[in-house]
């Protein structure tokens, strides 16, 4: 079927239309990303206070120095808890049984406790909160009444004492909103506050309203949620979304931290979300300042981060004091970001960007293009009549429309993107690799080989554009929804490419019989070893891909990767230029000469890693398009350069062996 000129021209026309649609959507996304050439930096007030205590200075001294000697503009204010009030010496928390025991042994000397014990029936399982200041008492009472209900929080006569029944652990962890002292402290030194709210286990409507009203007097409208759950999860998510929408409050999505309820909230308010990168406080203490800085900068450059949530170092790593060391680190981070073209003082409110993702008709057109590509690819293995083609379209497009009606558009988009990611690298190699022997000298073969790489890469970039178009919704750009099936899209093309070149085009129609004969054939050591080598190599490659690694990275490898990033601004993928492109180019140059077509499957499997990696780069939808495109171009140029070096090395080795013999 793939030899039918009418079908091929039909396929090219459909592909061209898909390219136009994909480019239109990609251009819209590119303009959207251009507005994001800024990243803001914020530090935690709680952690800054911990750092100041460790350094032996007051938090006021630290903030004043931070304000004068750095350009940090934002401070994250966490909710107060009873534990915070206790540590600040503002309240005392006693269990009823503790008061009774203290009185029994004669340790109760203060008048307030004496009257409490004499005038009130102390309940041993209850807790009694003794508060010094009236304004603190009123603040704590309001939040505890919202949390437990007014009937369950009792004031002892006219004293600043509250009686409540709860476990100590839960009582100390309850969020009590943002105190006026913290707000005044931050504003005193000119910092902009970002509010951090924690969830409640009781999930009453009054709690959400009270917490959001607690900072309504501030100009800032930015919130980051604390803990594993969002405020209001799971039963009050609708109320939270409505309140955030009404008050135009934006919320942070912390990268690599799956907070329960975030998925729901982002789908409700996708334009109110901003991306946050943070390193765990404990993890950061064991890292060098240079490594932490590189990680923050990489997050801003490669993953469209809006806010870097930094943490202070508790232990210094040079001769500076802890305070001066942290200020120097912040200044170096800001300077590095600005050197890389980012603004760190761009004050804005969310939602702020206008962006139009793919419309329904555009998505349906891209789905049709993907299905046509599947049909064209299968035609290499199986013949299709016109009736079969029409039946295929009716069944698949009909199923897609029914899923759209039922509200499963997200599944359609992800499945279509996965199909494109599988098909296009496969299509690139099986259509562009020469089927006939090349009768040219090595220089011309090298030149033609480079053209072969460019054509194959062009087909993959076409697939990437289609993926960018089909997964253009804001929920993908914010990272809450991701391309599904990264590992699958890596493995299946390798299998298809290996199968195609092992069978060879003239035996494709007899695939089943060839495989059956292979099954009963004697096992050859060379073939078995090559299969095992490919499998082990690919397992290591796949497992090491992504953001979390089972196999460790060696120090030399880390240094090499950092060197690449320093030289090229964005680190090119080593598997592309060190392995993939050289194998593709050498397979093209030496096929039918030094490499038998019986073994070309081995080289093309390893070589196709580069093309699959290109598609994979564009499937990381939170990465700016210009970064992915730059990395792709860099990969093929370095791949050609590495191939040239490998060939020179091969020539030198063969010449040495010839001289010896």
> Does a structural domain hold residue 352?
no
- 60 plus 113 within the same structural domain: no
In the predicted model, what is the mean pLDDT of residues 202-210?
Answer: 85
507-558 pLDDT, tens digit per residue, is: 555 555 555 555 555 556 666 666 677 677 667 666 666 554 445 566 677 7
Predicted pLDDT at 554: 64
> Does a structural domain hold residue 363?
no
- 515 plus 648 within the same structural domain: yes
> Does a structural domain hold residue 161?
yes
> Does a structural domain hold residue 388?
no
**Contact present, 117 and 104 (Cβ < 8 Å):** no
Lowest mean pLDDT among 74-78, 390-394, 552-556: 552-556
**Contact present, 639 and 577 (Cβ < 8 Å):** yes
State the total domains in the chain: 3
Provide the domain limits for residue 246. 38-79+178-339
- 511 plus 647 within the same structural domain: yes
- 169 plus 71 within the same structural domain: no
Predicted pLDDT at 442: 82
399-412 pLDDT, tens digit per residue, is: 999 999 998 999 99
In the predicted model, what is the mean pLDDT of residues 211-235?
Answer: 87
| pLDDT mean across residues, the chain | 86
In the predicted model, what is the mean pLDDT of residues 252-264?
Answer: 90
In terms of pLDDT, which residue wins out, 276 or 203?
276
Predicted pLDDT at 105: 56
User: Is pLDDT of 106 > 80?
Assistant: no
- 332 plus 477 within the same structural domain: no
In the predicted model, what is the mean pLDDT of residues 92-107?
Answer: 74
Rounded Cα gap, residues 494 and 610, in angstroms: 11
- 143 plus 194 within the same structural domain: no
Q: Which helix (H) or strand (E) holds 224?
A: strand 222-226
pLDDT category, 351, cuts 50, 70, 90? very low
Query: Nearest-CA neighbor of 612 among 406, 459, 460, 482?
Result: 460
Predicted pLDDT at 548: 46
- 303 plus 434 within the same structural domain: no
321-338 pLDDT, tens digit per residue, is: 899 999 999 999 999 998
Give the end of a domain, one of 173, 190, 225: 173
For the beta sheet containing 91-95, the strands, ordered from the edge strand earlier in sequence to the opposite edge, are 91-95, 127-131, 161-164, 153-155
Interhelix angle 5-34/625-660, rounded to 10 degrees, is 120
- What does 151-183 look like in DSSP terms, one character per residue? GGEEE-TTSSEEEE-S-HHHHHH------HHHH
- 88 plus 223 within the same structural domain: no
* pTM for the predicted model, two decimal places: 0.82
**Contact present, 43 and 387 (Cβ < 8 Å):** no
Q: Where are the alpha helices (DSSP H) in 379-407?
A: 386-405
- 502 plus 522 within the same structural domain: yes
In the predicted model, what is the mean pLDDT of residues 459-468?
Answer: 96
- 169 plus 182 within the same structural domain: no
- 57 plus 125 within the same structural domain: no
User: Is pLDDT of 350 > 60?
Assistant: no
Predicted pLDDT at 20: 96
Tokens of 322: 């802890």
Rounded Cα gap, residues 226 and 627, in angstroms: 31
> Does a structural domain hold residue 249?
yes
Give the end of a domain, one of 295, 311, 339: 339
353-380 pLDDT, tens digit per residue, is: 578 899 999 999 999 999 999 988 887 7
Q: Hey, which of 211-225, 533-547, 641-655 has the most confident mean pLDDT? A: 641-655
Give the end of a domain, one of 144, 173, 202: 173
> Does a structural domain hold residue 397?
no
Rounded Cα gap, residues 661 and 382, in angstroms: 51
Tell me the CATH number at 259. 3.20.20.370
In the predicted model, what is the mean pLDDT of residues 76-101?
Answer: 87
- 628 plus 609 within the same structural domain: yes
Q: Which is it for strands 273-278 and 307-310: parallel, antiparallel or unpaired?
A: parallel
């Amino acid at each position: 079927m793939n030899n039918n000129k009418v079908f091929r021209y039909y396929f090219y026309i459909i592909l061209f239309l898909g390219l136009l649609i994909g480019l239109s959507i990609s251009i819209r996304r590119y303009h959207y990303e251009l507005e994001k050439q800024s990243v803001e930096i914020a530090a935690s007030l709680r952690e800054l206070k911990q750092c100041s205590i460790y350094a032996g200075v007051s938090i006021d001294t630290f903030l004043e120095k931070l304000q004068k000697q750095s350009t940090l503009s934002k401070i994250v204010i966490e909710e107060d808890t009873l534990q915070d009030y206790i540590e600040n010496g503002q309240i005392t928390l006693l269990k009823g049984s503790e008061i009774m025991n203290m009185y029994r042994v004669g340790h109760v000397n203060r008048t307030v406790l004496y009257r409490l014990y004499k005038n009130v029936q102390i309940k041993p399982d209850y807790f009694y909160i003794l508060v010094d200041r009236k304004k603190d008492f009123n603040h704590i009472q309001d939040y505890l009444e919202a949390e437990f209900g007014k009937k369950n929080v009792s004031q002892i006569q006219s004293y600043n004492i509250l009686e409540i029944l709860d476990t100590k652990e839960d009582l100390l962890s309850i969020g009590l909103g943002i105190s006026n002292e913290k707000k005044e402290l931050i504003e005193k030194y000119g910092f902009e506050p970002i509010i951090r709210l924690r969830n409640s286990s009781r999930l009453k409507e009054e709690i959400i309203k009270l917490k959001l009203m607690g900072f309504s007097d501030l100009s800032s409208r930015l919130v980051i949620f604390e803990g594993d759950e969002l405020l209001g999860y799971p039963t009050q998510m609708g109320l939270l979304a409505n309140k955030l929408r009404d008050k135009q409050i934006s919320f942070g999505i912390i990268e690599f931290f799956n907070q329960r309820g975030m998925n729901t909230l982002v789908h409700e308010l996708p334009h109110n979300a901003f991306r946050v990168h943070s390193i765990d406080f404990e993890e950061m203490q064991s890292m060098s300042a240079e490594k932490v800085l590189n990680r923050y900068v990489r997050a801003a450059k490669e993953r469209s981060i809006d806010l870097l949530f930094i943490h202070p170092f508790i232990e210094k790593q040079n001769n500076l004091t802890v305070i001066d060391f942290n200020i120097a680190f912040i200044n170096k981070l800001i300077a590095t970001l600005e050197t890389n073209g980012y603004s760190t003082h761009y004050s804005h409110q969310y939602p702020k960007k206008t962006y139009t993702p793919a419309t329904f008709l555009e998505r349906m057109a891209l789905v049709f293009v993907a299905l046509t590509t599947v049909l064209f690819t299968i035609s290499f293995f199986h013949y299709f009549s016109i009736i079969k083609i029409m039946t295929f379209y009716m069944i698949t497009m009909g199923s897609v429309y029914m899923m759209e009606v039922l509200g499963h558009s997200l599944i359609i988009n992800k499945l279509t993107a996965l199909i494109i990611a599988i098909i296009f690298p496969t299509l690139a190699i099986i259509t562009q690799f020469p089927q006939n022997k090349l009768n040219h000298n090595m220089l011309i073969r090298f030149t033609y080989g480079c053209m072969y790489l460019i054509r194959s890469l062009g087909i993959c970039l076409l697939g990437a554009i289609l993926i960018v178009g089909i997964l253009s919704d804001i929920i993908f750009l914010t990272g809450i929804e991701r391309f599904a099936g990264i590992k699958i899209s890596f493995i299946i093309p390798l299998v298809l490419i290996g199968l195609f070149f092992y069978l060879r085009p003239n035996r494709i129609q007899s695939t089943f019989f060839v495989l059956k004969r292979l099954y009963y054939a004697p096992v050859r050591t060379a073939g078995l070893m090559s299969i095992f080598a490919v499998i082990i190599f690919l397992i290591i490659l796949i497992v090491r891909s992504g953001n979390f690694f089972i196999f460790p990275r060696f120090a030399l490898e880390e240094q090499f990767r950092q060197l690449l990033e320093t030289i090229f601004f964005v680190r090119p993928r080593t598997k592309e230029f060190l392995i993939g492109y050289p194998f593709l180019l050498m397979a093209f140059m030496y096929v039918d000469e030094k490499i038998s077509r019986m073994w070309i499957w081995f080289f093309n499997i390893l070589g196709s890693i580069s093309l699959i990696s290109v598609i994979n780069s564009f499937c990381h939808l939170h990465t700016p398009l210009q970064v992915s495109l730059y990395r792709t171009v860099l990969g093929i140029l370095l791949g050609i350069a590495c191939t040239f070096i490998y060939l020179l090395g091969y020539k030198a080795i063969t010449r040495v062996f010839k001289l010896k013999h």
